[in-house]
Structure 1
Amino acid sequence: MRGFPVRWPLFLSACLLAAPVSVLASEPANGSPQPRVVSGLRVTWLGHAAFEVVSPGGTRLLIDPWLKENPRTPAAWKELSRFGQEDAKPAAILVTHAHGDHAPDVPELARVSGALVVSTGEHLRAMKIPEAQQHSVNVGGSFRLGDVTVHAVPAMHSTDPGGRPLGYVVTFSDGRSLYHTGDTWLFGDMALIQELYHPDIVLLTTGGGRWGLDPKTAARAMRKYFKPSIIIPMHFGTFEPLAEEPEVRAAFAGDKRVRFLTPGQDTAL
């Protein structure tokens, strides 16, 4: 532009420095590096109902980490010693209930990582979690951990031994919230979970079978009670008689909020 000299190399450098920064995911599932926003929320599905969640501020959570015998957990995640490494230690392990496809690896993970273990007091004692790592909650309870707040909410299911089934809503410093339903059927108090916590991301049990929300009923629960921006199906296709992925996709056909994750893939949300 005439009369306004610009030093283009410096100008372009300034533009690049002002742009959002991203890095490459370290272990992309498809073998191709993918951009990941450094400051964003990260969710990794580990198969079935197991997730690793890393908050925008870096608070790392494991939820229902059944890994060693989980047929959908990638091999690299089955070695529980990885969670003793400084860059992989969870701040807390959230456990929804005591069934064998949700909780059996928790005592070893607690020993390896030193993390707090969050569940009902009865379940913590049944797992023989060291007292210093027990962080008991019950329906309606909440606590602050790093840059997140964890809320315990009801789930309609069973549990054995000890306590009662739970779901969890995790709220983040950026104003968003994530709801892990645990194993459940739809129930009227889901309306209160929406009213109180407005979950933006729902990790939704969808496999049905003999144990909980089947795909069509899971889709109905989302339509009737919730208004999330992202729905992530879980607890399907692991073993019979759970619904397989095509059935889940059919139930949510046309719903652009649904995202199917690949086990082991670090996903920025």
Structure 2
Amino acid sequence: MKITFFSHSTYMIEIHGIFLLVDPFFYGNPLFKKDSKLLNRCIKYFKRIDYILLTHAHYDHVCDTELFANKFGSLVISNYEISNFFEKKKLKTYGINYGSFISFPFGRLKYVWATHSSVFDDGTYGGNPGGFLLQTKDKKNIYLSGDTSLTYEMKLIPSFGTLKISILPIGGVYTMGVEEAIIASDFLQCKKVLGVHYDTFEAIKIDKKKAKEKFYEKNKELFLLKIGDTMCI
């Protein structure tokens, strides 16, 4: 399994040749507005996108959904309200909610609690925000928290199996910061964390060196990938 990071909360998960794009945010992303060549390199990376996973309806998580879904014929997976929104735009969707695991060719997926908000740019209600618990056939389980503050609900996640890695926001202000993410990793019983949702905007800029040091002091590892970098799980 591979995870390729594209800034903010956008990343691609490759599982046995199946590609899942999470929360696509490219053309409205201020990091790419500053560097169009970097944007073009990222877009050229995509040869196929089988699924698009959306955690909530905020613009910085859904703005390029139609672009990629139409280009690659991707299946959009999200909560009922977001799925219904994009179904009306003639995209292929699969609406879910907080509930059971659902089986897909890449593994099993469960929509889980997130403490945040969820509304489209035009004011349309985006349903309950969430994250995803992904279980692969080779038992490489990943928790994709989405945008969230620290919540006691995270303590339930390990009851569904040991996590290989958790993907958590660390920028603060709108989501957890570094300190809360460390506590979250305790709740999740997971020592490896891929940090997301930082540095994209002025309000969520962090000191990356200090963030890694804080995780290290707690005997944990924080991965902060550069745009386009890949890690193997």
- Could you tell me which amino acid in structure 1 is paired with residue 22 of structure 2? I
- Do 2:83 and 2:95's aligned partners in 1 also have CA atoms closer than 8 Å? yes
2:122 maps to none
| Correspondence 1:249 to 2:212 | yes
How many angstroms does 1:132 deviate by? 6.1
Q: What does the per-residue CA deviation read over 1:149-168, in whole Å, with 9 as the maximum and x for residues that have no partner?
A: 11111111000132110101
Q: What does the per-residue CA deviation read over 1:147-191, in whole Å, with 9 as the maximum and x for residues that have no partner?
A: 321111111100013211010111112111011110001111111
Q: Cα RMSD (Å) of the superposition?
A: 2.0
How many angstroms does 1:204 deviate by? 0.8
Q: How does 1:89-104 map to 2 (within 5 A)?
A: 89-104=48-63
1:144 maps to 103
Q: What does the per-residue CA deviation read over 1:79-132, in whole Å, with 9 as the maximum and x for residues that have no partner?
A: 3x764xxxx212210000011111111111111110100111211233455556
Q: 2 CA distance for matches of 1:124 and 1:65?
A: 15
Q: 2 CA distance for matches of 1:186 and 1:265?
A: 27
| Correspondence 1:75 to 2:39 | yes
1:218 maps to 181
SS at match of 2:222: coil
1:207 maps to 171
- Could you tell me which amino acid in structure 2 is paired with residue 260 of structure 1? L
- Do 1:107 and 1:128's aligned partners in 2 also have CA atoms closer than 8 Å? no
1:176 maps to 140
Change (3 A) 1:82 1:237: closer
2:76 maps to 117
Q: 2 CA distance for matches of 1:117 and 1:139?
A: 17
Q: What does the per-residue CA deviation read over 1:33-90, in whole Å, with 9 as the maximum and x for residues that have no partner?
A: xxxxxxxx111011011110001x22210011112222446423553x764xxxx212
- Do 2:212 and 2:221's aligned partners in 1 also have CA atoms closer than 8 Å? no
Which runs of at least 4 in structure 1 moved beyond 4 Å after TM superposition?
128-132
- Do 2:144 and 2:166's aligned partners in 1 also have CA atoms closer than 8 Å? yes
- Could you tell me which amino acid in structure 1 is paired with residue 57 of structure 2? A
Q: 2 CA distance for matches of 1:168 and 1:110?
A: 19
Change (3 A) 1:264 1:78: closer
Could you tell me which runs of 5 or more consecutive residues in structure 2 were left unpaired when the two chains were aligned.
33-37, 120-124
The share of aligned pairs that are identical, in percent, is 26
1:238 maps to 200
TM-score by length of 2: 0.86
Q: 1 CA distance for matches of 2:162 and 2:113?
A: 15
2:35 maps to none
Change (3 A) 1:101 1:247: farther
Q: Report the structure number with the largest CA radius of gyration.
A: 1
Q: 1 CA distance for matches of 2:93 and 2:126?
A: 14
TM-score by length of 1: 0.75
Of the three residues 11, 15, 24, the one matched with 1:51 is 11
